[in-house]
A and B are shown apart, each in its own frame.
Chain A
Amino acid sequence: MTTTIKLSRRTLLQGAGATGLALGAGPITGFPNVIAAEPVTLRYLGTAVNQSGDIARKVKEDLGITIEYIPVVTDEVTKRVVTQPNSFDLLDTEFFSLKKLIPSGNIQGMDARRIKQADNITPVFTKGEVAGKKIGDQGTAPKKVFYLEGQNSKNFAGSATEWITLIPTTYNADTLGIRPDLIKRPISSWKELLNPEFKGKASILNIPSIGIMDAAMVIEATGDYTYPDKGNMTKAEIDRTIKVLIEAKRAGQFRAFWQDFNESVNLMASGETVIQSMWSPAVTKVRSQGVACTYQPLKEGYRAWATGFGLPKTLTGRKLDAAYDFINWFLSGWAGAYLNRQGYYSAVLETAKANMEPYEWAYWMEGKPAEKDIKGPDGSVLEKAGATRDGGSFETRMGSVACWNAVMDENTYMVRKWNEFIAA
């Protein structure tokens, strides 16, 4: 790889600033590969959730790699991978969409030997365990789609191989977000989402494959039906679930639906909704605007999701090297700490821990009361000293996962039924 470094006089002069800095920093932080030479730009396709200007700036500083974000919604990510595999260099997508992506043949397996921290990736992904305990694996649990049989294989491997589909970036356990100041009573079950008490003040996620699982959680909570696998319903089960949703919608239960992280923030912060399915950092963001919002742990457990980096099959040469460098950098701690501070979980816990203050780690990961004010990545105070995180520690939260975001075998039928729900 070092042979690719071409230090022409022009680039030396040009890169005297940033690149020089990166060269200097490289050996220390241990990322020697593709820095310097002509600057590399990686087009980073993903949802806005994981994309952050801070990470892009930091990686530019450390590696000299320019990250160009292409922020689109979840479905659009899948669409672009399938239809325009050349339009990006690095993919950040949810594990559940792999069931669509891998058969398209546009994603290459990632060489585990080139990922320095590959062995330290949390067993949530590799084995479906947290602290040695098996967690719920309904739906597209990452362990089911983590390995490929070969680099260009279209089959998922049952056990560990050296070809990884996606290197995890962030993951979390989702539940309902509520406005405690407006609800004024404890909420403990998913069934509250469709409780007529919150008529016109509830919201659900308008991404069909995820929204329907939230609905399934609600239906199970009411005791009406227990799904063999919420992440892979039969047609009859889809019909049953959509029917419940349609009834609720016609009764005026929902204020609006949301499709993107920040949409949910706006709905909640402006008081348009008081209870809705939500993502953890969204709750954090609402709170940072001075609005009371709780990420309510529920007795039925969480619906978990995970995103990860993938490489398009067309990626080769310097860009491929740069992508590996970037991923290694991402797992090396700074980015992990950055994400942990927003309420996500990072793939390699040890390196993230090394980059966080002990009191931060205790608050975010161990579920202990904050010793000092907890600050977000931008320095704004998120929680005052003494607060504890909703849902407790990493082990309690990820340990209570009931199911994972999924693509069902009956996905086509489900999307059609979902459209019916929207039209109802």
Chain B
Amino acid sequence: MSDRPRSPAFYALAAFFALFVAFLYGPTLTILVLSFQGPQGGLTFPMNGVSTHWFGKLWAGLGIVDIWGALWRSLRLGLVVMGLTVVIAFYAGLAFRKRFRGEGMLFTIAVASLIVPSIVVSLGIGLEFRLLDDAVNWAAAATGWGWLQEHGTLMGLYTSALGAHLTWTLPFGLLIMFAVFNRFDPAYEEAARDLGATGSQTLRHVVVPILGPSLVGVALFGFTLSFDELARTSQAIGGRNTLPLELQGLTTTVTTPEIYALGTLTTGMSLAVISLALGTSLYLQRRKARAGLRLG
């Protein structure tokens, strides 16, 4: 195909693509521009001067909303979810290669977890914890044990919210691992084993390095999916909100361009995370390539 001349279709499609990109980025750019509103400016055009006023305000805190606290909570939760997703999905991927009874069921459940509407999952987790709390309270009343009396709720960032996020990130992680292992040449492992490596040695020195870039991909997915997750968290969060929930609250409680400044900032942050991950992935690939050359 590459030696054919550019057809008219190419230009039509290119134009369509350009329009799509404009559609994709247009609103984001609007926000970017509006976040530099002057101090007197409102939420809509026209621009009332240009300033970094709202970023300053944002830095000073959004008044009532503990936005930095929420951001920090989201980051920490995102990192935990990322770690767990990589490890759990990687091992599950290994297990699926070996085949085991019940694998069909596990796979079906994983896919189901992905496509069951988030609000339903969220409701279910919320219910589960509500009933658990009731049970603990009942136990506290029945036994009179002191350490149970203070019980409020088991719901929290690292219990119900973490679980809700994992039901969302793990299926993605597993699907990526499938795709990766499908393309993974077992000959490498065989070679390692032939050279006398134990199972764990093979894993550490052969499988993980080769799959490195893909694992970075899983991590990236895990983190960003968690960082932006809203629907599943909504009914399953404890006392303190994550950033997207706080943002959703803000859309109704903030009437100044601060919210745009925040938007610009979080977008920038997501971009930074992606570039970092891509950079790492590229670096790993290069190193692998170089190592391959040296060996060769």
Contacts and interface: CB of A to CB of B under 8 A. Distances in A.
Nearest to B61: A53
B42 interface: yes
A53 B152 contact: no
Given A53-B61, A261-B253, A88 B44 contact: no
A71 B69 CA distance: 13
A266 B252 CA distance: 9
B2 to A, nearest CB: 51
B43 interface: yes
Nearest to B137: A85
B249 A265 contact: no
Interface string B51-66: 0000000000111111
B229 to A, nearest CB: 18
Contacts of A2: none
A87 interface: yes
A71 B239 contact: no
B56 to A, nearest CB: 15
A4 B19 CA distance: 67
B177 interface: no
Interface string A139-155: 00000000000000000
B155 A84 contact: yes
B290 interface: no
B70 to A, nearest CB: 10
Given A52-B63, A53-B61, A71-B64, A262 B239 contact: no
Contacts of B241: 70
B255 interface: yes
B65 A84 contact: no
A104 B156 CA distance: 21
Interface residues of A, number: 32
Given A53-B63, A84-B152, A70 B130 contact: no
Contact of A69 (B44, B65, B150, B255): B65
A263 interface: yes
Contact of B253 (A48, A80, A269): A48
B254 interface: yes
Interface in A246-279: 259-263, 265-266, 269-270
Contact of A85 (B61, B62, B152): B152
Interface in A287-310: 289
Nearest to B134: A83
B157 to A, nearest CB: 11
Contact of B64 (A48, A263, A314): A48
A72 B239 contact: no
A86 B240 CA distance: 12
Nearest to A316: B150
B253 A71 contact: yes
A60 interface: no
Nearest to B44: A270
Interface in B238-271: 238-241, 249, 252-255
Contacts of A84: 133, 152-153, 155, 238-239
B151 interface: yes
A407 to B, nearest CB: 21
B65 A71 contact: yes
B276 to A, nearest CB: 31
A43 interface: yes
B253 A87 contact: no
12 contacts: A52-B63, A52-B64, A68-B69, A69-B65, A73-B252, A84-B152, A86-B239, A87-B153, A262-B252, A262-B255, A269-B255, A270-B44
List 6 A-B pairs, minimum CB-CB distance, nearest first: A86-B152, A87-B239, A53-B63, A260-B252, A51-B64, A48-B253
Interface of B: 42-44, 61-66, 69, 126, 130, 133, 150-153, 155, 238-241, 249, 252-255
